[in-house]
Amino acid sequence: MQRRDFLIAASTVSLATIANPMPIVSKWANLRGKAQHCIFLWLGGGMAQIDTFDPKKLGDAKTNKPGSYYPSIDTAVAKVQVCEHLSGLAPLMDRVTAVRTVHHDVVDEHAAATIRVHTGRRTSGTIQYPSVGSIVAHEYASTNSNIPAYVLIGYPNVARGPGYLGPRYGHLYLTDVETGPVALTPSPQLTDSRRLRRQKLMQTLRGSTTAENAKQIQEYHHIIDQAEKLSFGSFMKTFDLTSESTQTRELYGADVTTGLGKRCLLARRLIESGVSFVEVSHNLNFRNGTGWDTHYKGQMKQHLLIRELDLALSVLITDLERRHLLDRTLIVVATEFGRPAGFDSGGGRGHQSKTFSLILAGGGLNHRGAYGVTDELAATILENPVSVPDFHATVYATLGIDPSKILYDQQNRPIPITDGGQPIHQLLL
């Protein structure tokens, strides 16, 4: 925002407040959905939109002819096609919208692009912005104090953190679906008497809080209290996948130790338990070759990841629908950027951020299979560009969160919840 625009906006709000002290109604009040949960599937490395959700004419890596690597197939939505390896999703695309015209300006740096897509903001040297998961946790924090608002199945880093909102709105994380969050598993040596002594000692320490560090100490105490509730309450039962039927585990492929399906099954159980936001990382530790970062020979193994995504996502959609949870659960499939139509010298693809695909499913949206139009090489936006802030605004609006809301950092500075993002109206009408 330019200084002139800021001053005009500030003076307008001030005058409106003086003239009419009633609360100002958001212009998005009638465009907010009723979803209550979000499952955010993260495809680290950069999913090639031209090989998945925005297919074009076939290319040839050997002759460096630009185009899709795989043939495309029809879907449940007329004139909307996807890659042949998304055959499970194809008949479900009427519950899905591939937003094909997302764009930003980070091309060669995976970490910076990951932060951009997670926070909807440019990296700043003066402020650390919260992730989409932490903002949802902030807005849904009062739903149930015995359940974490935000769970990350993957590795924690600054892109997924709470930023200026503070640690209270951070994530509970785990990388091993088999064991659950190790930090919340009580030690066998922790008897009831030892636990009681620790609680008494903590109460004594809490009485020594000074005015200078009161806020930080209160945040710490909140986290300790919540960890206590989670460790000794019923929440830990959520991680016991053996309580699911054999048929359900087989559908998700949950008997495969490293599979995305197992993480998606746990994500479904987490939102059933009351968790508001679950991020699920695909291909932890790049067990499948190069992962979605399909330079060089990684392109040749991309179909393995696409098939795994197809299986997990299609089963998750149908399972949520069967349980009457799909309209209340927004599924997001996100990646840091896309891939160009041309091939590099090793037969793989480089990076492309000027247009790529992010996916929305469920959430009670008015789905249309695809939104936005790109050219014959999925390289230039022809219709309906969607900025990363626009995409974030759409996610928030779907979850009933006002995308024009103002949040405040630790110094009480006002910060808009998105960087000028505008929700995609057609999906919310």
Supply the pLDDT for residue 258.
59
Supply the pLDDT for residue 168.
87
With a cut of 60, say whether residue 43 has pLDDT above it: yes
Segment 231-258 shows an average pLDDT of: 80
With a cut of 80, say whether residue 211 has pLDDT above it: no
**Rounded Cα–Cα distance for residues 124 and 424 (Å):** 26
With a cut of 90, say whether residue 203 has pLDDT above it: no
Q: Angle at the Cα of 236 (from 130 to 199), degrees rounded to 5?
A: 85
With a cut of 50, say whether residue 301 has pLDDT above it: yes
Supply the pLDDT for residue 213.
58
**Would you say 338 and 50 are in contact if contact means Cβ atoms under 8 Å apart?**
yes
Supply the pLDDT for residue 75.
98
Mean pLDDT computed over every residue of the chain: 86
Domain boundaries, the chain: 28-185+235-428
Supply the pLDDT for residue 232.
54
Supply the pLDDT for residue 23.
45
pLDDT band (50, 70, 90) for residue 59: very high
Least confident of 67-81, 232-246, 371-385: 232-246
Q: Which residue has the higher pLDDT, 216 or 152?
A: 152
pLDDT band (50, 70, 90) for residue 5: low
Number of Cβ atoms within 10 Å of the Cβ of 293: 20
Helix axes 192-206, 214-232, angle to 10 degrees: 160
**Rounded Cα–Cα distance for residues 290 and 302 (Å):** 9
- Greatest CA separation found in the chain? 73
With a cut of 70, say whether residue 112 has pLDDT above it: yes
The two three-digit tokens of residue 124, written as one number? 């700043």
Least confident of 306-320, 330-344, 406-420: 406-420
The two three-digit tokens of residue 261, written as one number? 């399906």
**Would you say 142 and 156 are in contact if contact means Cβ atoms under 8 Å apart?**
no
Supply the pLDDT for residue 222.
60
What is the topology classification, in CATH, of domain 28-185+235-428? Alkaline Phosphatase, subunit A (3.40.720)
With a cut of 70, say whether residue 387 has pLDDT above it: yes
Burial class (CB in 10 A: 0-12, 13-18, 19+), 25: exposed
Supply the pLDDT for residue 228.
57
E strand map for 302-423 = 329-334, 356-362, 369-371, 373-374, 381-383, 386-387, 406-408, 414-416
Least confident of 68-77, 97-106, 167-176: 167-176
Segment 91-120 shows an average pLDDT of: 96
The two three-digit tokens of residue 201, written as one number? 């000692």
With a cut of 90, say whether residue 284 has pLDDT above it: no
User: Which residue bears the tokens 């997302």?
Assistant: 102
Secondary structure (3-state) at 302: helix
pLDDT band (50, 70, 90) for residue 190: low
pLDDT digits (tens, 9 = 90+) for 16-37: 444 444 444 566 667 789 999 9
Segment 68-95 shows an average pLDDT of: 97
Least confident of 255-259, 317-321, 362-366, 399-403: 255-259
User: Which residue bears the tokens 């925005």?
Assistant: 54
Number of Cβ atoms within 10 Å of the Cβ of 415: 17
Supply the pLDDT for residue 175.
83
**Would you say 173 and 155 are in contact if contact means Cβ atoms under 8 Å apart?**
yes
> Which of 398, 427, 409, 395 shows the shortest CA–CA distance to 120?
395
Supply the pLDDT for residue 362.
97
